[in-house]
Amino acid sequence: MNLVILQKLQAKFGDAIVESNEFRDELTVVVRKDRLVELCTYLKEDRGLRYDLLVDLCGIDMYTPVKRFGVIYNVYSLKNRHRLRLKTFTEDEQPQVPTVTGVWSTANWHERETYDMFGILFDGHPDLRRIYMPDDFEYHPLRKDFPLMGVPGSIRLPKK
């Protein structure tokens, strides 16, 4: 199943598939971010694939000079009972990834969480606000360079 899907994707998207690997029967595909939405739409709409459930979407901070930030999509096909993992990385100083809210609307809150925690901007997101941290918070806590105990004084407490 994994091989069939990979060949199908490679035939259609060619060099947009940067990398792929299979580990313990789980297929992971690394995609170039400029064709991400197109690929996601294909995954969802194609009759043979039907990846209709976005199980999870999360960010990752590799803490490397290039390709530091990435976004990981775990999708599931109810029809084929098959899971697929997509990854995409950004090169920029200010990480930006196109939104997939148009494909799976579940992505809305997941992308807000990823924005809140990693500062990854999702192009075209309908409502990109923080979801956990206070609105006036200036940092992104899950970035590797954020101190564990936070920045003192960055969140105001009520007066005693």
What does the binding site for another protein look like in residue numbers (CB under 8 A)?
A: 132-134, 141, 146-151, 155, 157-160
Which is closer to another protein, CB of 62 or CB of 151? 151
Which is closer to another protein, CB of 18 or CB of 155? 155
DSSP assignment of the chain equals -HHHHHHHHHHHHGGGEEEEEEETTEEEEEE-GGGHHHHHHHHHH-TTT---EEEEEEEEE---SSS-EEEEEEEEETTTTEEEEEEEEE-SSS-EEE--TTT-TTHHHHHHHHHHHH--EEET-TT---SSS-TT--S-TTSTTS-TT--TTSSPPPP-
* CB 134, min distance to another protein, A: 6
* CB 158, min distance to another protein, A: 4
* CB 150, min distance to another protein, A: 3
Which is closer to another protein, CB of 48 or CB of 134? 134
* CB 136, min distance to another protein, A: 12
Which is closer to another protein, CB of 3 or CB of 157? 157
